[in-house]
Each structure stands twice: as structure tokens, then as C-alpha cells.
Amino acid sequence: MSILTRNTALAGVLDTHLAALAADEGLAPQTIRDGIEGGTMVLLGNPSHPSLRPLLVGQPSRVKVNANIGTSPLCNNPDREIEKLAAALGAGADTVMDLSIAGDLLAIRKGMLAACPLPLGTVPLYSVAQKYLDKGKDPAGMDPEELFAEIEMQAEQGVDFMTVHCGLTRRGAEWATEGGRVLGIVSRGGSILARWMRKNGKENPLLEQYDRILEIARKHNVTLSLGDGLRPGAGADAGDAAQWDEVMMLGRLAKAGLAEGVQCMIEGPGHVPMHEVEAQIVGIKKLTNNAPLYVLGPLTIDSSPGYDHIAGAIGGAIGVRAGVDFLCYLTPAEHLTLPTIEDVKAGVMASRIAAQAGEVALGRRHALEREAGMSQARMALDWDGMKRCALDPEMVDARRGEHRNEEECAMCGKFCAVKMLRDDPQGTL
Amino acid sequence: MSILTRNTALAGVLDTHLAALAADEGLAPQTIRDGIEGGTMVLLGNPSHPSLRPLLVGQPSRVKVNANIGTSPLCNNPDREIEKLAAALGAGADTVMDLSIAGDLLAIRKGMLAACPLPLGTVPLYSVAQKYLDKGKDPAGMDPEELFAEIEMQAEQGVDFMTVHCGLTRRGAEWATEGGRVLGIVSRGGSILARWMRKNGKENPLLEQYDRILEIARKHNVTLSLGDGLRPGAGADAGDAAQWDEVMMLGRLAKAGLAEGVQCMIEGPGHVPMHEVEAQIVGIKKLTNNAPLYVLGPLTIDSSPGYDHIAGAIGGAIGVRAGVDFLCYLTPAEHLTLPTIEDVKAGVMASRIAAQAGEVALGRRHALEREAGMSQARMALDWDGMKRCALDPEMVDARRGEHRNEEECAMCGKFCAVKMLRDDPQGTL
């Protein structure tokens, strides 16, 4: 039975928005239907999310960019997070994840759902763990029922996609922490679940009771973002057995989800040296049946704190060319602190640049048209045209500043190479 | 006859500094000698540059980063340019090019040579053209003798490397401007010479009298940076016949230079879509006998004004892995205005990240050691160790700000994945 038959919530969202999605993506409606049926595209959109503009993820639809925001114990200001949400949307993010781990998480999420016309994602495990950590208690003491209740409540609230670390096994967690890795487990969700499994001597409840998650997800058309709890946290750890063990599980879970009428994405690395990025992406796509791949980076070096958006853009661009569908941004704050509003904008822009570089390499029409428009405008010294084609139009005026009414830029002035050859050499410059 | 026999200035610099260079680069002295003799490495160092620390360019020596600074007609503040020079050195640039095109160029260059203990590069053509443009005259009216006199004067002044567009031919300039390209010629030097050739109906004097340049360069051990006047200015123009025609000439000129005892580097693109970068680099290296390759970017997209340092870092990283030896930075100001001091720092850092990503991929020991140190420090939550391994150590403290004395970062706080599994699961977190 097809996913659109089984998942009536999804079918309803698709029926309402298919024409607009097809026009926006420049794809035939049948291509979109086929992608969703085959599990290579997902349509993010929980019918309970008010005023939502649903979004396709999965090539050949446009590569999308996510911005992570949310409170932390040391930087807990919900109003500031709403400002970051606006900054992310303003910079061109396609989705936002609320990763809040401090304060009234229910109220914060409600505020974000209301403020965000684009799909919103969460990690429900954080809410459960927070209840323990806030009281100084060990989250390894949690009852799995709390987790399922949280997932259901967030689905009813309208969350469009959720990270669930269902592919993490006792074996995988052991492999990742027995000493072979430099950096063990760096996923917060992965480390909490690994601690729970160790303490309780039991298998991951999100894996053992995956069917319960599927039932909730199908009912609300929540797209499962199958989390990579064992993603490498150092370039040296990339591609080890622990990572691939989880990837293989994610592939099996995505297949089972599709069969049960649930949309699934795959989360990917992480810290990966540049020469291993393509191999990682190709391998993950293969093992996960070409389900939409959602990566954090990949971050090509470990030594760029303060500039991880750049090291991540290098990996992201290579990743998109190799098949990545969805880029989670990294900001200049990564590995150091919670991002500021400026960091959020910088992170979104860096990921959009990576997506554009990858899509140009793939020959995607919308990407090539933007490039061609920019180059033609440059040849004509048409600054309005350059603004229209720039990934950040406002930046063009902002940086030209006092020189914005000159024909040439302030770098070259009368040394302008374009002007030098535009006029007849016998004439004036 | 070997280059070290013919070029006594070079031989002198090498003798004085070989031991230090070998130690600094982690290379055997013979590897350095062989690289210089074979033309795959150059030693930047004009004996007339006071207090200079000479520098090797050419893999397997460390990949180097250059920062372009200098006045422009619309932003003419020589003191500010000296501040930018200090900012570039502080951020870890290996060389600086003075591209000033406004003001008293002789005095500016003198000030920079005195302030810069690292190799300084120039484009002598700019000084000649400026004399014409400042008076509202056409630089196509210049006498080639002025150009040779300028090159000689700058060599005597102590300039370590000079961009000379000797490979630009009338045929190449015609091919680049007859209509097949979106953006014609975007190199300032290239466009001035093309205009001169058109107006005068003569071949490029830098090509026709290359032997005169070689004589000056050999005497002062000026390394020739054979300029790419026809580099693509749009992704769509990359790899066309005009570009390759010039590359082939550059290869012949580099070979002739080596035979005459002159060190040569090759300048490379420019705007190149990501999927063409490796092919470009491999092709250029082959056609230029593996002479050190010095690239501007490559800039993988055209549509990122305000963020070209990021689009350039993507191409730079891929380029380094494919054989690039020397990265010329792009700053956030590229295509818009003259860089500020902050832009200079951002540009140097982006290029250093690209170099590190590429060198990690190539397995270079110094790069891998930095990565390993960072990851070990992260596992130990050793913030001093992280600072030591960071490409920008100051940034670590600056971004942690008020939370710099916490054990965890302000992004995760008590959700720290490392701490979650560091302690016994039965114990406290």
C-alpha cells in the first residue's frame, strides 16, 4: 500500500499544496508524487502547524537549509530565540529547529510554531532529559513512556519533523565508546540514550518500540529525522564501524517507515575530512535507499572554532554535489557558545552558499540562472541587477556604502577591467 | 646549467636560510633543493628586502596564503593599508601583495617593505597605468620602456615577487573579448594590456621582451608570478579556449624562466564552478610543468557578493587537494569595495581554513597533528588545549566571553555529550 494511501494527513497536505510546490520547485507534479512514494522526497508539513507553508526535501527539489536555534542553560532568553528565528527566515533558511534545553520548553515551542510559517523541527528527547537535568537528576533514570508521551504531545502541537535516534543500538554505542574513537559520542541525544542503555542494561526503546513512533508520526504527518547519534565528532572518527552500524540501521528503519506510511529523512555527519565526504554521502545514500539526507556540515576540519560555518560550507558544497538534500547550518559559534543573531545569519548564508555551489555543479536550472544573471549584470555594471541575483541583496548596498552611486566599485575605481575594454580603445575610458 | 648556479642571489638566500626552512617545513634540505632545481618550488626572497624571512612556495612545503592590500582611487589611505598589513600578518598570512593604485605608490611600497618581514608582491603594471589614469590619459598610450623601468626599479627596491602578464597574447585577448565570454577580461592587468595591444596593433611587450624581465628577475631573485590576464570572471567562462591559450603560454614561459635561472609561479583562476576545479588544477599543473600554482579562489559561485571568502574557500580547499600551492585570499569585500581591516582578517582566516582542509585531505603531517590535538583537547574539555590547536586561538576566548571559565560550552551546558559519558553511568554527571 502506498505511503499516500496510508498517510491521509500527508495526502491532504499534498493535495492542497501540490500545484504551488510544483511551480515553486520547477518540477512536474508527478515527479513530486513519485519522489514521495519512493521515499526519496519528503513533504514537511504537520496539519496542526498553523499557517504553515509545507516544504519538499529531496533532490531534485531545491536543496534546503535548516537553522538550529533554542535556549541553553547558560543562555536562556526565549525572546532572543524568537528574534533569531526571524533572522534565520530573513536570511533565507527553509526550516528551523527548536533545540531549546532551558526554560519552559512547551511555551517556547508554542511561540516558535506560531512565529514560523516554515516547517519547525525538534528533538523530543531534550524535553524529557531537561526535566531530569534541571532537578540535578540523571536522565538515564527516565521512563521510556515519558519519551513516547512527549513525542505524541509535540506531534499534536504541530511540530513538522522530529529527530529520533532510533538507529542507535547497544552494540553501536559500545563500539563508539570502547576506546577506538578520539571523541566517543558527541550527539547530545546519542549520549543520553547511550547512558540510559548502559545504566538500564536494555536496548534503545526508540528502536524496540519504533512501531509506536510510526503510529504517532503517520497520524500527524510528522516526518521522522532519523538521528545519527553516533556521527563522528572528529575527522579521525569518521567512517568507523560504529558510524556505519547506525547508518545501516537507519536504512532499515527508513524502509520500514515508508512501508508503514511514514516519511523519513536520514541525519548525517558531522566531522568528515574533505577527501572522505563524497564516499560518506554515496555510502549513506545507498544504505538508506536514497532517503533525503540531512547533514550537519560536513565539517571538514576540527581546528576552526569561530569559523566552523566556513569549514562546514566546504563539506556541505561537496556533499550537495554527491547527493545531500538538506543542509543543517553551522554558525561561527559552533563548539564555543550559543549563536547570536549575527551568527544565525552568517550560518544560514554559509549554508546557502554551499547549496548554491553544489547545485551549480549539478547543473540545477535555478542555480545556473542566478549565476548567469549575476555575471550579465557585472558585465553591464548594473548594480541593481547584481542585487537581484545576489544571495544576500542587502549586503550589496551595505558594503558599497558611500560609494553606492559610483559606476565602478571602490576596489578598482578607474582601474575597472570591465570599463577598460567596454569602450573603443581610441575613445575615452 | 642549474637554477642555483645561474641565480646567485637565490643561491645566497638559500644557503643562509636552508636549515631554518627545512626545520620549519619539516622537509629534508635535499627535498627543498630538488624542488627549486626542478621548478616545483620557489623561494620568495629578494636580498634587497630588509629583515626578510624568505618563504618556500610549492607542495610538499606547507600551502601558503597571500593577502592583497593597497589603496584605491576611492579609498586612498596609506596608513590604513599599513594597518591592514599588520592585520594580515596577525591573522597568519604568509605573504602580502601591495596592489595600491592611488597615491604615492613608491612611498607606499617603501613603507610596506619596511613593515613586512614576509615576502611582498606587486603588479608593476599598475604603477605605470596609474600615471596615465591619474592624469585622465589612456594607459594604452604607455611606452613599454616605462614598464621595464618600473620592474627594474621595484626589483631594486626589494619586491620579492611580481605579477607580470607575459602569457597574454593578441590572439588570447581577441578570443576573450570577441563575444564568446559573458565577462570578457576581468584582470586589471590583462585588460590594460589588451587595450594597449588593440590600440597599438602590437604583441604584448612583456611577452616579446620576456628576456629583459628574466634578466632583472635573476639579478634580484625576484620570483615571477606569471599572471593570468585571461582568467575567467564568471563560472560560465571557466575553461574556455582563451584561458587555456594563456595557460599554455605560461607553461612555456615558466620553462624558459627556469632554464634562465629565474623562479616562476603560475597564477590561476578565478571563477570556476566546483565540478570543474579539479580538472582545471590538474590541467594547469600539467601544462606548467608542476610550477607552484597560485590561485585566486577559485570562486565556486558568482552570486555571493559579501561572502566571496566562503565561496572561495570551497574552491580553495578542493584546489589544494588537487595540487594548488598558494592561495590568494578573497575577502568579504570582493566585487564590492576595498576591504576593511576586519575583511582582511576574515579573508586570511577563510584561506587558512581552505588550506587546512586541503592539507588534511592530503595527509600532511602538520595539518593532521593540529586536528588530532584539537580533538583530544575537546574530549578532555581542555580549553587551553583547544586554543593552542585552533587556527585562531584568540577567537576561542573571545567567543566564550562571560562563560570562559565554565567547563562546558554555553551551547550545551549540562547537556554536554562529552560529560554525559565521561563519568560512570551510576555516578553523578
Cβ atoms of B73 and A415 within 8 Å: the answer is yes
Contact B185 A302 (CB under 8 A): no
A427 or A151: whose pLDDT is higher?
A151
Distance between A315 CA and the closest CA of chain B, angstroms: 8
Scanning every residue of chain B, which has its alpha carbon at the shortest distance from the alpha carbon of A340? B399
ipTM for this prediction: 0.97
- Tell me how far the alpha carbon of residue B162 is from its chain's centroid: 12
Average pLDDT over residues B191-206: 97
Distance between A272 CA and the closest CA of chain B, angstroms: 10
For an interface test with A, which of B412, B416, B422, B428 has the most A Cβ atoms less than 10 Å from its Cβ? B412
Scanning every residue of chain B, which has its alpha carbon at the shortest distance from the alpha carbon of A70? B411
Which of chain A's residues have a Cβ under 8 Å away from the Cβ of B321?
274-275
Q: Where are the alpha helices (DSSP H) in A7-77?
A: 8-25, 29-38
For an interface test with A, which of B105, B366, B420 has the most A Cβ atoms less than 10 Å from its Cβ? B420
Which of chain A's residues have a Cβ under 8 Å away from the Cβ of B237?
375
Contact B406 A313 (CB under 8 A): no
pLDDT in tens, B42-73: 999 999 999 999 999 999 999 999 999 999 99
Statement: residue A425 has pLDDT above 60: no
pLDDT in tens, A280-322: 999 999 999 999 999 999 999 999 999 999 999 999 999 999 9
Using CB atoms, which residue from A140, A187, A332 is nearest to B425?
A140
pTM (global) more than 0.90: yes
DSSP β-ladder status, B64-69 and B223-226: unpaired
| Per-residue pLDDT, A128 | 98
Statement: residue B422 has pLDDT above 80: yes
Cβ atoms of B206 and B170 within 8 Å: the answer is no
- A370 close to B (CB below 8 A): yes
Distance between A339 CA and the closest CA of chain B, angstroms: 8
Residues 150-169 of B with CB under 8 A from A: none
Cα separation, B233 vs A408, in Å, equals 16
In the three-class reduction of DSSP (H, G, I as helix; E, B as strand; rest coil), residue A138 is classed as coil
Cβ atoms of B6 and B261 within 8 Å: the answer is yes
Contact B374 A302 (CB under 8 A): yes
Distance between B361 CA and the closest CA of chain A, angstroms: 5
- A96 close to B (CB below 8 A): no
Contact A410 B321 (CB under 8 A): no
Statement: residue A427 has pLDDT above 90: no
Inter-chain Cβ pairs, chain A and chain B, closer than 8 A: 346
pLDDT in tens, A178-195: 999 999 999 999 999 999
**Residues contacting A86, CB < 8 A, separation 6+:** A115
- B406 close to A (CB below 8 A): yes
What are the DSSP E strand ranges found in B167-317? 223-226, 264-268, 293-296
How would residue A422 be classed by pLDDT, with cut points 50, 70 and 90?
confident
Which of chain B's residues have a Cβ under 8 Å away from the Cβ of A190?
417
Average pLDDT over residues A251-277: 98
Contact A313 B314 (CB under 8 A): yes
For an interface test with A, which of B421, B422, B428, B429 has the most A Cβ atoms less than 10 Å from its Cβ? B421
Half-sphere exposure of B131 (CA within 13 A, CB side): 12
Average pLDDT over residues B387-414: 93
**Residues contacting A400, CB < 8 A, separation 6+:** A383, A406, A409, A410, B336, B337
pLDDT in tens, B249-277: 999 999 999 999 999 999 999 999 999 99
Cα separation, A299 vs B210, in Å, equals 45
| Per-residue pLDDT, A286 | 98
- A201 close to B (CB below 8 A): no
Cβ atoms of B272 and B315 within 8 Å: the answer is yes
What one-character-per-residue DSSP string does A176-198 give?
Answer: HHSSS-SS----HHHHHHHHHHH
Using CB atoms, which residue from A199, A274, A409 is nearest to B358?
A274
| Per-residue pLDDT, B1 | 78
Residues 20-79 of A with CB under 8 A from B: 72-75
Q: According to CATH, where is 3.20.20.540 located in chain B?
A: 3-363
Which of chain A's residues have a Cβ under 8 Å away from the Cβ of B332?
399
Scanning every residue of chain B, which has its alpha carbon at the shortest distance from the alpha carbon of A237? B375
Contact A378 B406 (CB under 8 A): no
Contact A415 B199 (CB under 8 A): no
Statement: residue B428 has pLDDT above 90: no
Which of chain A's residues have a Cβ under 8 Å away from the Cβ of B372?
182, 236
CA B26, B30, B36: angle at the middle one, nearest 5?
Answer: 95
Contact A304 B371 (CB under 8 A): no
For an interface test with A, which of B134, B274, B391 has the most A Cβ atoms less than 10 Å from its Cβ? B274
| Per-residue pLDDT, B429 | 52
Cβ atoms of B97 and B113 within 8 Å: the answer is no
Cβ atoms of B199 and B140 within 8 Å: the answer is yes
Statement: residue B425 has pLDDT above 60: no
pLDDT in tens, A206-245: 999 999 999 999 999 999 999 999 999 999 999 999 999 9
Contact B428 A74 (CB under 8 A): no
What one-character-per-residue DSSP string does A253-310 give?
Answer: HHHHHHHTT--EEEEE-SB--HHHHHHHHHHHHHHTTT--EEEETTB--SS-TT-HHH
Contact B420 A192 (CB under 8 A): yes
Q: Calculate helix-pair angle for B144-157, B105-115, nearest 10 degrees.
A: 30
Grid coordinates belonging to A202: 536494555
- A192 close to B (CB below 8 A): yes
pLDDT in tens, B148-174: 999 999 999 999 999 999 999 999 999
Residues 115-134 of A with CB under 8 A from B: 126, 129, 133
Distance between A103 CA and the closest CA of chain B, angstroms: 13
Q: How many CB atoms lie within 10 A of CB B248?
A: 16
Average pLDDT over residues A140-147: 97
Distance between B141 CA and the closest CA of chain A, angstroms: 10
Among 3.20.20.540, 3.90.1150.10, 1.10.3720.10, 3.40.50.460, what is the CATH number of B3-363? 3.20.20.540
Contact B74 A317 (CB under 8 A): no
Cβ burial, residue B79 (10 Å; 0-12/13-18/19+): exposed
| Per-residue pLDDT, A1 | 78
pLDDT in tens, A30-45: 999 999 999 999 999 9
Contact B306 A392 (CB under 8 A): yes
pLDDT in tens, A24-80: 999 999 999 999 999 999 999 999 999 999 999 999 999 999 999 999 998 999 999
Q: Sign (positive/negative) of CA torsion B332, B333, B339, B341?
A: negative
pLDDT in tens, A364-381: 999 999 999 999 999 999
